[in-house]
Structure formats: structure tokens, C-alpha cells
Structure 1
């Protein structure tokens, strides 16, 4: 077969594919695309029609489609052309459905989908949550949150509950007033090649939240968010969906005012069999955080081949520049805002589950703090391995250090403590092998040891390179 004939066959096959997929252009269903008219009804009509036969709902360029809430459905490819935009309406009265069922104090649903299959979002256009429209005044480090009575109207951008075979690829999605992509009880999900940009000053503006979901693959994404960039969790409002498991995240770049990669803190079930590989974290207040505050467990997690850069921000944001953070403390109770919807029904206090079998390998950390492992009792954290993890610590901001952030916990949220390369406080079986600790030129007096350990059963250190911040007066490793 000649090259010319092969090319002709390929073009013909592509043409047949394009012809066989029915296109539902939202403008043909009445959408104006003028950036002023609420096009939600027209977009919903196109989605409803497409779902019957299967096909593509086209969001055409160069138009901006202002919309209130609408629902996506099965057998639909929502295709947003380059130069096209779906923009959330700033009218708060339009947002009436809680993102967390009976818990109405944590945002609403803008683009939603329930029990859908074979749904995708594609194209190089934009989904814009219009987040700043829902904020109060801008301050130095954050926007003020507007007061509300019962329902917080801030919309989550995309909420899919009970989805199967979900694909989100290539789009630009963000500027969210609350969480951006929330996957609840989903199975078989691929998120690839997206750009997700939220304001670093918008609180609660998570990037991707994987909640009670299974078999999720996230790859080749660029994410900036005020809150967590990627978070795995098990919220109590959706407990019927079971464990969060079989999750892979690869080739992503992230920046957060809080924690770039977080597991927890909401976890009432099990989070297990998770791999993060080939990721870069830039200028984040916390790099990787496993933050268990409920009775659920976290197990069998690998972090590998990563670069983590941390810097201190203000107490508005969670974290104290820890590049790696593992904590297990029961959740705060009483009148704390987290308590009402976080504890089991009828309970007034909670418990905390185990964290075990966590591996860090080939990780480069730079910033204003070291790796931190801490629990309310040493049996809560077991079998933590650091292999070829390098830590470089230097004071680079004016924000106060010498602190660790254990919020939200029953004990004190902020704990004073020395800044050490690796700080272990209550754990069983911790291993450091082929690790290193170095210090920069700016060394306040709370910079201390290469390794500091308290109340740890079986700490094994092999081939540690480095010394304390002040080797003339402090030992390299301090054990208590």
C-alpha cells in the first residue's frame, strides 16, 4: 500500500468518525453567548437532547456563555472550543443546591451530574467559575468571606456524584469560588492535560477533590489553588460510596497557599493504594500532607520522584511550610465549625484511624521547614519510609517559623517546636535511608537538628548525610 493511499484511508476514517458523532451546538438551542444572558436553559436543552442519542454538545468559539446551574448527563462529550468560555453567573440567588446534601454551609453546585456514565469534557476552551464575584473585600493574603445564614452560595465548579467512565481532558477550568472538580463515588475516571487556575487568595478553592472514588488517574495537569491542589478524602455526607482507592497522579505541577497534595482531613472510611509520581510542587505552604482527623485509615501510599518547594504564608492558610507532613489527631469538638458535620451521627467527639505503609522515595525538598511526622499516640502512625529524600532548609520570608500546624485537632492547633530536617513525634517503625539535610545561610536559633525524634519505636537511620544547623553546639541526631 502506498503512502498516499494510507493517508487517504486515515483521512477517510477520521471523516467517518466526525460524521458518525452527532453535534449539538448550544447556539442552535437558543444560547446567546453574549456574556450577559443566562444561557443555562439552552445549554441544558442541548445536553438533554444529546444524552438520548449520544454525541457532542458543542460550546462554540468565540463566544462567552454566562450560565446559572445546569446538569451534565450520560453519553455526552461536552466540547468547549478554543476561544469559547462557560462563565458562572454572579447572581447568588441562582445557586440553591447544596454541594454536600443536608450540610448547606459549604457551597453549592454549579455544573452537576448524578449517576452518569460515559461522560467527558474536552476541548481547549474555558470553564470559568467567576470566583472573585462571590468574594468580599480583598486583603493582603486573602479575600474576605461574605457572611451567610444557612446556605453558603459560593458555587463549586463541577460536582459529579456516582459517575462511571468519566473523562476530563485538555480544558482550562478554574477561577472557582469553592472547590473546582469534585468527584464523589466515581469509578473509572481520567483527568488529563487540564490547566486549573484559581486565585491563590480564595479560601476553600481546592483544585481536584477525589472523594470516595476508585480507579482514578490524574496526569499532566497544571494546578494553582488557594487551598489543596489535589485532595483525596472520604466525606461523611457520602459514606455509602465506600473507600477511596486505586488512585494514581503523575506528571503534575502544583502551587498552593495551603497544601499542594493532601490526603484527608475528612476521612471516615479508607484511603488506600495510592501513587503520586513525577510531580513538582512550587511555592506552597505545605507540600505533601497526610492529615488524618477521623476514624478512617490511610495505607499503602507511595510518593516518588518529586521536587517540593515550600514557603511560609500567614495563619489564614493551613501549614507551616512542611515539605512532607504526616499527622494523626482526633478532630476538634465543641463549637468548632468542623465538628457538626464531621462526627458520626449522634457523636460529640471522634476518633482517629491509623496511617501505615507510607513510602517517600527520590524526593527533593527545599523551603523553610523540614519533614514532620506526629500523632496523638505512637500506634497511630506505622511503617513510614524515607528513601533518598533530601531536605534543604533556609529562612526566606518574614513570616514567623519555629511552629507546626496541627489543625483541625482536639489539641492545640499550633505547636512550638524546633525546625529540624526530619522531626518525628510519636510513631512506630520509621526508616531513613540515603537521606540528606542541608542548611542555608539564614539560620534563626530555632533551626536545630538533622533528625529529631521523640516517642518513636524503632527508628532506623542508614547513610544519613548532613549535620545540625549549628554543629558546633548541637548533635546531628537527637532522640528522646
Structure 2
């Protein structure tokens, strides 16, 4: 009797297990949603935005899964939006390229501020979204440009809406992953993450045309808890930029950011904090990076009432030289500044200033640490502010700069644009040029000069209005030691 009951119980358990498995199988939705299933055609003339959107929406409605752009095919598309709980997979040798018709781009990248581009791939209030694959997202950027010049492209005129699309804009995202993709040819900013929390960007290749103005690589805007690693970035404008734009002020500060193991090239600034910053940018660690063939290397460019603090740069190699005035920067390998922005700024219609104001203020930059940074450049390090209390507690430790003239572009200038003070400061090129700052420490560092030394090459260190300057084991001579002092501090 005991064995019979045990056998009966086992049969019941097997039946229940079978029923549960069948129910689970029926409840599990298909995980792969190929865009071709929803009508996408690999045809250069067909806009596949509707088909791609249908695939994304179906995946989201089914509870999540993968939206797949099939391998080896090229799909043209106008704007579409991502949804939560999807992985957008661009398979190997597949391309999604932006529709070159500027009239299909209607949605502003900056809400009511319509003068700074539109959105191609977008999404708001998303969670659990991944973009991945060995394929490519192509912004088709040159299609939106005017004539090609020697150093840039002409920007086409517009009335209210600048139709140039930002490649990817995610607003209010959580648990966002971008990995392994090639992302290229953006007409404006490339990856713009607004108010996003818990983001990982890993192993992407981001290639923009170096002549396209405003073609930032990765912009972290009011975002937090972000990790960027193992990326290769080329961009006309800033490669990686941290900021707090006024259009999205409800998202709060930009904080808890790490960047490591990246290689970057920029015609503006490879790693930049600012210039738009109406809140707080803090707790940032940037390490183990290579900056090559760039204009400016590292830049903190505070121009609004927000603050920048608790930032560490370490183990970075910088190679910078001069480009034309189209690009902000004068080959400063490191640049730390705090100036109020200029009252007028062409297309921004006063969006840069607090509501109802036509003039702004500037917040403090403090507790910034540079360690083991090696720079080769046509210019030196610039630290400046409108008053000494605005830039303070800056440490340079094991920072070695080699200065040598390598282009025919005139130097002897530091670039403070966009600032209410004179944007371009004419001054001698020194290893460290300090202009209104407090509590500056330079230790175990050096300045050396190459063989090409124009007359405006000057000192190891030149200071103006510096409060509490400490130099410990700062090595080097002036560019012309027989007639110029190594260190002057007025």
C-alpha cells in the first residue's frame, strides 16, 4: 500500500510538472523580432522607419526581447523611437543609415529650444534597453552639411528648426547599455543621454567626420552612475562631454561618472566638462586614456551657475596641436576655467541663461586632481577664472609637458570662448599659465621645450593673481633661459 501511494504521488507530480512546463512554454513570447518580418527592405530608396517602429513596438508589447537588423544588409530609415525591455541588435556587417531628407526630422533635440538639432533615434522614460551588435548605426551626416571648406563644412541656414539630426537621444533612461557597435557620421551630437541612471557604454567605435561642427561623440547630460570604457572615438567636436543643459533641469546633477581605457581624437576638446552647466557636475574619474591628434586635450569649461568638483584625471597621454578659429581651443593640453558666458550666443535665443535673464553667472570649479598626465603640444596648460575664488584646489602631480611648434597656425593665444571676457587671450606660451586661481599645487612635474621655439614661448610657469601657489619639484627651464626666467608670479 505504501509503494502504491508513493507511485500515485509521483505520477501526480509528473503531471503537474508537465502542465507547468506547457503553461510556461505558451506564456514565453518569441524573443527575436526581425525588422524584415515587419516590412523592412534593404533598399536605399525605401524609408524603413515604420517597419522598424512596428518591430520595436511588437517586441515591447510582447514583454521584451531582441529587435534584429539582419546581417549584411543596409536599411535606410527616418526617425524612430526605442521602447523599454528591448535589445536593438545590429548584426555583423548590417547598417541602419539615416534618411538624408532633412524634412522628415521634426522633433527638437532640446524640447522648446528648436535651434539645436532634431532627433533620429530617440526614446523617453525607458528602462532596460540595450543597443548592441557588430553592425553600424550611420547618421549620414555629410548629407546635412553645406559646402566643404578646408577645416570644416558650412552649416546650412535655417529659420526656426535646425533639421540636423542627433543620432541617438535617450531622455529619462534607466539601465541603458550600448556595446560593441560602430556608430558613425552624425550630423550633430551622436550619443546624447539626458537624465539617465545606470548606464554602461563599452567597446564602441564612434567615427564622425572631423570637419563636422557640433558632432560631439558622447554627451552625458544630467546623467548619473555612468561607465564608459574601451571605446575609440573620433569627432569634430568634443569626444566625451559632461554637462547640465537648462532644457532638462528637472533631472538634477551629473555625477558618479567613470571613463577608462578610451582613445580619442577631436578638433575641439577630447574630454570636456561644460560649457553648459546649470547644476552640479561631481565625482568623476577619468583614467587610462590616450588623446591623439587633437586640439584641446582635457577641458573644464564652466560658463554657467553650476559647479564642478571632485574630479580626477589619471594616466593620460595627450597629443594636441593648433587648428583654425572655427574650433574652440588653442592646443591647450589641459584647460580649467570659470568665466560667465557672453551675453549673446547667435542661435540659442537666450536658452543659455536662467529664465527671464539675459546675463548669467558662473559657479565654482574646485577639487580637481591631475595625476600622471603626459602632454605633447604647441601650447601649455591654462587655468583661469574671472576671480580667484572661482577656481581653487587644483593639484597637478606628475604632469609632464613637452612644448614644440609643429604647425604654421599662429600661437601665443589661450582660448576662453564662450566667455564675457575677451574670448582669445593673447599671452606668451608657458608650461603652466595661471590667471586668477587659488590653492594651486604643482608637484613632481616638468616642462620641456622642443627645437622649434617661436619668440612667444616663455616660462615654465607664469602666474597672475594666484593665491597660495605651491610648487614642489617642478623641473624645467624657460624656452629661452639666457634671457627669460623659468617662473614668474605677479
Which TM-score bucket, shorter chain as reference?
A: over 0.9
Specify which of 233, 256, 274 is matched with residue 264 of structure 1: 274
What is aligned with 1:145?
Answer: 155
Q: Distance in 2 between matches of 1:339 and 1:147?
A: 15
Aligned position for 2:463: 453
- Residues 443-463 of structure 1: per-residue CA shift (max 9 Å, x gap): 000000001111000000001
* Distance in 2 (alpha carbons) for counterparts of 1:448 and 1:338: 38
Q: Deviations over 1:144-203 (max 9, x none)?
A: 000111000000000000000000000000200000000000000000000000000000
Matched-pair contact (CA < 8 Å) for 2:376–2:402: yes
Shift in Å, 1:471: 0.5
Contact 1:21–1:56 (CA<8 Å) still a contact in 2? no
Is 1:37 the counterpart of 2:46 in the alignment?
A: yes
Inter-partner Cα distance in structure 2 for 1:235 and 1:27: 38
How big is the shift at 1:20?
Answer: 8.3
Within-5 A mapping of 1:311-460:
311-334=321-344, 336-338=346-348, 340-460=350-470
2-structure distance, mates of 1:128, 1:338: 27
After TM superposition, give the deviation of residue 335 of structure 1 in Å.
6.1
- For 1:184 and 1:275, the matched residues in 2 are separated by 20
Residues 49-198 of structure 1 aligned to structure 2 (within 5 Å): 49-52=58-61, 53-198=63-208
1:309 aligns with 319
Please give the per-residue CA displacement for 1:314-364, whole angstroms capped at 9, x wherever unaligned.
000000000000111001004644461100000110000000000000000
8 Å contact kept, 1:173–1:195: yes
Following superposition of structure 1 onto structure 2, how do residues 152-301 of structure 1 map, counting pairs within 5 Å? 152-301=162-311
Q: Which has the larger radius of gyration?
A: 2
Report if aligned partners of 2:140, 2:187 keep a CA contact under 8 Å in 1: yes
**TM-score with structure 1 setting the length:** 0.95
Cα distance in 2 between the residues matched to 1:20 and 1:337: 48
What is the aligned-residue RMSD (CA, Å)?
1.1
Write out per-residue CA displacement over residues 88-129 of structure 1, whole angstroms, 9 at most, x where no aligned residue.
Answer: 000111000000000000000000010000000010100000
Match of 1:3 in 2: none
Structure 2 contact 115–347 (Cα < 8 Å) conserved: no
Greater Cα shift, 334-343 or 125-134: 334-343
How far 1:465 sits from its partner (Å)? 1.3
Moved more, 293-302 or 468-477: 468-477
Q: 5+ residue gaps in structure 2?
A: 1-24
Separation in structure 2 between the aligned mates of residue 28 and residue 116 of structure 1, nearest angstrom: 24
Residues 324 and 339 (structure 1), Cα distance of their counterparts in 2 relative to 1, 3 Å cut:
farther
TM-score calculated relative to the size of structure 2: 0.93
Distance 2:317 2:43 in 1: 43
User: How far 1:436 sits from its partner (Å)?
Assistant: 0.5
